[in-house]
């Protein structure tokens, strides 16, 4: 059994297997379910079902490859944001920087398509800085919710302050919106935004300090427009997460991650 163990912030340790994800709180000696695991119980829609039917037996392989691509892209974006926040400039040497492929455990360079996806994030951030003063509040922060006993890792929180007032343009069908405020942002490499994505980021709003944040999904490597990215503000739908949690409890209530207690070396 492959078990991924990753130490994260706030005294949390993340454990992931093929079908489960838990967070262990060291100081409380408690297990918290992952918000993303709960969101796995949310129906993704007819379009996603049709996609799986079209891909047939290759669906698992395609989804695994997409997951590996997403993990490498997240790692690269995280490094860019970390350097921007700590050094004042985010940079990435695509020929030298290596990122883990979760399927084989090896560190690899970004492939061509992965570079394009990361570049779309760079372009989004640069375009944002042209109009706004951007303050990075935090990034890749893991936290938990005591009331609903879940934990998760948010991608990015930023505060935006517009530099110049937006002038009404009568030629535009849709007027430009002022994005000033504090944002909780999740990166996605998928072509569509699913209800599970919205429910997940809505759950992160229930973590300490995030209650008044605006919520957004940033699709990177987006191929349906010229910019290569799509930034979408989404409505809080925590009630969807709660409904999925009912299903999660039906299958997993009182369940403990006993498999994590299996020793790494077995001998007779």
Read off the pLDDT of each residue in 18-33 and give the average, rounded to a whole number: 82
| Distance set, CA 241 to CA 36, 197, 209 (Å) | 10, 10, 19
Most confident of 17-21, 55-59, 243-247, 260-264: 243-247
Q: Measured between alpha carbons, how far is 99 from 20 in angstroms, rounded to an integer? A: 23
pLDDT category of residue 247 using cuts at 50, 70 and 90: very high
pLDDT in tens, 38-53: 999 998 777 666 666 6
pLDDT in tens, 50-61: 666 666 655 454
* Lowest-confidence pick of 20-29, 91-100, 220-229: 20-29
Give yes or no for residue 240 having a pLDDT over 80. yes
Give yes or no for residue 180 having a pLDDT over 80. yes
pLDDT category of residue 259 using cuts at 50, 70 and 90: low
- The tokens of 243 are what? 């409904």
Q: Which residue has the tokens 């229930």?
A: 206
Read off the pLDDT of each residue in 238-248 and give the average, rounded to a whole number: 97
Is residue 214 within 8 Å of residue 233, measured between CB atoms?
yes
Parse the chain into domains and list their residue ranges: 45-249
* Lowest-confidence pick of 25-29, 137-141, 192-196: 25-29
pLDDT category of residue 164 using cuts at 50, 70 and 90: very high
18 vs 31, which has greater pLDDT? 31
* Lowest-confidence pick of 22-26, 44-48, 105-109, 232-236: 44-48
Instruction: Identify the pLDDT of residue 68.
Output: 74
Instruction: Identify the pLDDT of residue 262.
Output: 46
Closest CA to 33 of 142, 204, 149: 149
Read off the pLDDT of each residue in 94-106 and give the average, rounded to a whole number: 86
Give yes or no for residue 172 having a pLDDT over 60. yes
234 vs 58, which has greater pLDDT? 234
Instruction: Identify the pLDDT of residue 10.
Output: 62
Give yes or no for residue 74 having a pLDDT over 90. yes
Give yes or no for residue 104 having a pLDDT over 90. no
Instruction: Identify the pLDDT of residue 64.
Output: 57
């Amino acid at each position: 059994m492959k078990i991924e163990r990753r130490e994260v912030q706030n005294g949390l340790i993340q454990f992931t297997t093929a079908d489960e994800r838990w967070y262990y709180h060291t100081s409380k000696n408690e297990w918290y379910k992952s918000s993303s695991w709960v969101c796995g119980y949310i129906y993704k829609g007819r379009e996603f079902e049709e996609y799986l039917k079209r891909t047939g037996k290759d669906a698992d392989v395609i989804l695994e490859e997409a997951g590996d691509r997403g993990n490498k892209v997240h790692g690269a974006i995280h490094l860019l944001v970390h350097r921007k926040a700590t050094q004042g400039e985010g940079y990435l040497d695509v020929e030298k920087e290596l990122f883990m492929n979760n399927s084989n455990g090896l560190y690899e360079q970004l492939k061509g398509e992965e570079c394009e996806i990361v570049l779309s994030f760079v372009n989004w951030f640069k375009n944002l800085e042209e109009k706004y003063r951007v303050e990075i509040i935090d990034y890749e922060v893991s936290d938990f919710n005591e009331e609903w006993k879940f934990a998760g890792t948010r991608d990015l929180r930023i505060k935006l302050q517009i530099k110049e007032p937006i002038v009404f343009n009568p030629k535009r069908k849709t007027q430009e919106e002022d994005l000033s405020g504090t944002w909780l942002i999740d990166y996605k490499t998928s072509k569509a935004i699913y209800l599970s994505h919205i429910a997940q980021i809505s759950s992160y709003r229930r973590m300490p300090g995030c209650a008044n944040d605006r919520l957004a999904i940033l699709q990177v490597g987006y191929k349906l427009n010229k910019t290569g990215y799509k930034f979408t503000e989404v409505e809080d739908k925590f009630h969807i997460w709660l409904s999925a949690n009912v299903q999660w409890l039906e299958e997993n209530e009182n369940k403990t991650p006993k498999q994590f207690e299996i020793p790494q070396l077995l001998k007779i």
